[in-house]
Amino acid sequence: MQRAQEAYLQDQRSAALRDRIAQDKAAVISDISARWASQMGQTEKSAVGWSNALGAANPEKLFQIAQANTWDGVIAAQLGTTPDALGSVTSDLVFTPLTPCRVLDTRLGDPPYHGPYSVGDNISFAVTDPINSAGKNQGGAANCGFPYLSGTGVALNITAVPVGASGDLRIFPVGGTPPSASIINFQSGINIANAANVAIAYGAGGNDVTINVEFGSNVYIVVDILGYFAPPVATAVQTTRVATSGTAPANTSNWIINSPACPAGYSLVGGGYNDRGPSLSGNWIWGSYPDPSATPSNSWRAYGNNTSNTSDTVDVYAICARVPGR
């Protein structure tokens, strides 16, 4: 009884929240922003980015964000990593390549984005646009094409420019734990580069990735973005209709008219018929169903008898669909 009552109350709260989103979306966004203000951060990039993202969210996404009890839940709802459909948003990520673009050059940036760096230093920087938010200068471009709050990972090319002792660099999401493995091992006086795919975290200061100098001294760091990884984007199913007109001959039993086959890449999802001939008392269409002659069926069939002395015209069509690629 208690569980039923709790379920009823939860349904009532959910219905009330959906109604509020429909009637006053701005107020719901204001509540979300106030609740998670410290996590969203106070930088211009964070404030504007979240404001734009919440404003553009559809009612269902906004409902999920408002229902989230943890910051991880808010991020998951915003990025679409809590799906209610087949597929994985962690292993089925879509890669979007970008024209290589410099996001960090510590030879040219302003502190804290100006080197050289030594053992134990952490350099947290942005890879999502706008990179140089709030007037900061990372030494690279202001925007490189990776939209804020749209992806979970990034492809980077990292260059170490050592002017001191040999050492190594490690890379990880901002706020995370440095891995035991290094991304670059460098020797004094020799510039060296390496590419890496890195998960990102949306930090309160607008930073996404951290590079740690595990060993070594006096090293400059240069980073270029090559592309980013984002959850799959749901797109509408593409449909097409293929049809033919056939004749149900006079005085013919068990006539069959099949539609054309679905185009390559499409699957049969339905079909039907239209009897275009005169009203004939002796013509019956007994069935309309997927053509059983192929497995899986890729055309539609109409089947019947015409015991009249007049032929009849019947249109038979198939509805075909495919999931478009991205």
Instruction: Give residue-wise pLDDT tens across range 152-171.
Output: 899 999 999 999 899 999 99
Query: For residue 30, what are the β-bridge partners?
Result: none
Residue 291 CA, distance from chain mean position: 36
Question: 91-108: per-residue pLDDT in tens?
Answer: 578 899 999 999 999 999
Confidence of residue 297 (pLDDT cuts 50, 70, 90): confident
Q: How far apart are the first and last CA of the chain?
A: 48
Confidence of residue 279 (pLDDT cuts 50, 70, 90): low
SS3 category, 44: helix
Query: For residue 316, what are the β-bridge partners?
Result: 244, 273
Residue 90 is predicted with a pLDDT of 53
DSSP secondary structure string for all residues of 45-80: HHHHHHHHHHHH--HHHHHHHHH-SSHHHHHHHHHT
pTM over 0.75: no
What is the domain partition of the chain in residue ranges?
2-79, 94-230, 238-322
Number of H helices, E strands in the chain: 6, 14
56 pLDDT more than 70: yes
Asked if the 94-230 domain carries CATH number 2.60.120, the reply is: yes
209, 173 contact by CB (below 8 A): yes
Question: 184-231: per-residue pLDDT in tens?
Answer: 999 999 999 999 999 988 765 678 899 999 988 899 999 999 999 988
